[in-house]
Amino acid sequence: MKGRDEMGKTENNIVTVLVENNAGVLARVVSLFGRRGYNIESLTVATTKDKRTSYITIVVNGDKDILDQIIKQVSRLEETISVRPLEESRALSRELLLIKFAINDKTLTSIHEISSIYGATIVDLAPDTMIVELTSNTSKIDAFLSIMKKYDIIEICRTGVTALERDSQKLK
């Protein structure tokens, strides 16, 4: 959901940008946010099937006016091919979480069981540590981290959101 909720708070918005894959284009896009005081919550970038273009997914917190301003500013960049917001109800979004735990005989089974419930996978197991991978939507990853905070977390690495619109409409 975009804009302000019923309590008047701003919410996270997903903005997708298709750009020409030129050196410095990401820096130009990101600098627009910084100059206007908008904080980027999440940012992912990758080339598309056409190596001459890249797809940028940005999550930014704000209301409709902020979102409209961002879209206008990013649209003005020379390398921008298209920019548009993604409605949460029409988007499929995912993040990747890697989390390393210190383990012992007592915690190994518990961490494994909770990870299984969330659909997470153990990707590395050593005598004293375990690395778990979870790919899911942001709210599921947040819930998983909330449950797992009682264990001895050594390190967390979390990607930003990447998203596509569910229908077959092309990004133009």
pLDDT for the residue 10: 67
pLDDT for the residue 142: 96
Long-range contacts (CB closer than 8 Å, 24 or more residues apart) made by 82-86: 82/17, 82/18, 82/171, 82/172, 83/15, 83/16, 83/17, 83/18, 84/15, 84/16, 84/171, 85/2, 85/13, 85/14, 85/15, 85/16, 86/14, 86/15, 86/16, 86/163, 86/165
Q: For domain 92-163, give the fold.
A: Alpha-Beta Plaits (3.30.70)
Domains 11-86 and 92-163 equal at CATH topology level: yes
pLDDT over 50 at 1, yes or no: no
Would you list the domain boundaries of the chain? 11-86, 92-163
Query: What are φ and ψ of residue 19, in 5° steps?
Result: -130, 160
> Could you tell me which CATH number the domain at 11-86 has?
3.30.70.260
Q: What is the pLDDT of residues 10-41, one digit of tens each?
A: 688 899 999 999 999 999 998 888 888 888 89
Q: Output the pTM of the full model.
A: 0.79
Are the beta carbons of 83 and 17 closer than 8 angstroms? yes
Q: What is the pLDDT of residues 118-141, one digit of tens each?
A: 999 999 999 999 999 999 999 999
pLDDT for the residue 6: 46
Cα dihedral angle (83, 87, 93, 95), rounded to 10 degrees?
Answer: 80
Q: What is the pLDDT of residues 54-75, one digit of tens each?
A: 999 999 888 888 889 889 999 9
Q: What is the pLDDT of residues 139-171, one digit of tens each?
A: 999 999 999 999 999 999 999 999 988 875 555
pLDDT over 80 at 79, yes or no: yes
* Percent of the chain that is helix, strand, coil (3-state, to 5): 30, 40, 30
